[in-house]
Amino acid sequence: MNRIKIAFFDAKDYDKNSFIKANENIDYEIDYFDTRLTKDTVRLAEGHDVVCVFVNDDVDKDVIDALVEMNVKLVALRCAGYNNVDVEYAYEKIHIVRVPAYSPYAVAEHAMALLLTSIRRIHKAYIRTRDFNFSLSGLTGFDLHGKTVGIVGTGKIGRIFIDICRGFGMNVIAYDKFPAKDSDIKYVTLDEIWEQSDIISFHCPLTDENRHMVNEESIARMKKGVVLINTSRGGLIDTESLVEGIKQRKIGAACLDVYEEESNIFFHDYSNHIVDDDTLARLISMPNVIVSSHQAFLTEEALSNIADTTLENVKEFFENEYSVNEVCYKCPKVEDCKQLHNGKCF
């Protein structure tokens, strides 16, 4: 067959470096575009067999229709989550593949890094000492040992974060709609997570069912001074409710690697511009909030795994007529999905 052509959207230097290396022995023709994939940029995909996208690219109905019209055969996600893809509308129109696990250690370790930085005021100490200010005033933190941490989502990342927390001597409770079988994880209800946890960390995909699971009502049930960590998807937290909870001193700290309105902001340099997002500006201005720009995945190991798996997904799809990592909207509905991942979804 002809050489496979890939339109690579939202490309950053670290993406290019890892994919160029991974492509050395495969030799696909990859065109890298800095812009995100949207209905306004989708025409850049014309003449390509595959579009490769990340978390903030839009693969909605309009984009899917345009891709199908241009005879694009495959959407290759270089991430695990696919809430930015209308997978139900894509069914029987265009195939979707993803990278289910690139480095769960990277994300789990970043979550703990955010937590430690926040509660031990390391970010504040760093700024002070660079000005030769060695005062300890205002830097008092608290021990993690003996604290109760609630884990929402016990997939690979969640379970690794549990192991890290246990290493600190923390009491771990967890909630998952589909609990891990034959595990020693102590599962509780979501209400018990809100009510019992000193720290809550989110490691679940974003769905219509759990969007804004952290809201005014759930925050009211939480312990005063609770610390929230989100390295999953921004839409899990209602940002306005989060801001209000912090202002009311209900939420003691927030450690955020994701933000529900991040798509036009994260991964870009706005240091010389005014960001037109008052809510994000308020969050960043708060002394007990740490925001990192969706970088939890960003390790050399993860980038290498993402590139290798993404290109392997493309190779499987075109050479073997299927990919084990194909996404089907029926997959979560076990009773509806007949896919054994040994053939194309449709």
pLDDT at 344: 77
Does the 5-102+299-327 domain belong in CATH 3.40.50.720?
yes
The residue annotated as part of the active site, out of 36, 95, 203, 294, is 294
The predicted-structure confidence for 274-312, as pLDDT tens digits, reads as follows 888 999 999 999 999 999 999 999 999 999 999 999 999
One fold for 5-102+299-327 and 104-291 = yes
pLDDT at 335: 52
Q: Say whether 208 sits in a helix, a strand or coil.
A: coil
Contacts of 216 (CB under 8 A, 6+ apart): 238, 241, 244, 245
pLDDT at 316: 94
pLDDT at 334: 47
pLDDT at 339: 63
The residue annotated as part of the active site, out of 78, 110, 203, 262, is 262
pLDDT at 333: 56
For the chain, give every domain's residue range: 5-102+299-327, 104-291
The residue annotated as part of the active site, out of 233, 244, 249, 268, is 233
pLDDT at 337: 56
Q: Which two tokens stand for residue 244?
A: 């209000």
- Is 262 considered catalytic here? yes
The predicted-structure confidence for 216-267, as pLDDT tens digits, reads as follows 999 999 999 999 999 999 999 999 999 999 999 999 999 999 999 998 899 9
Q: What is the mean pLDDT of each run of 10 residues along the chain (346 residues)?
A: 92 96 95 97 98 96 98 96 93 94 92 98 96 97 98 96 98 96 95 98 94 98 98 97 97 97 90 91 96 96 96 94 83 58 71
Q: Which two tokens stand for residue 63?
A: 């984009």
Q: What is the rounded CA–CA span in Å between residue 15 and residue 173?
A: 36
Q: Which residues pair with 199 in a beta bridge?
A: 149, 227
pLDDT at 342: 64
What Å distances lie between residue 23 and 63, 182, 217, CA to CA? 26, 39, 49
Q: What is the rounded CA–CA span in Å between residue 322 and residue 319?
A: 8
- Is 294 considered catalytic here? yes
Q: How many helices (H) and strands (E) does the chain have?
A: 11, 12
Q: Which value, in Å, is the radius of gyration of the alpha carbons in the chain? A: 21
Does the 104-291 domain belong in CATH 3.30.9.10?
no
Q: Characterize the bridge pairing of strands 226-230 and 199-202.
A: parallel
What Å distances lie between residue 41 and 10, 38, 52, 54, CA to CA? 11, 5, 13, 15
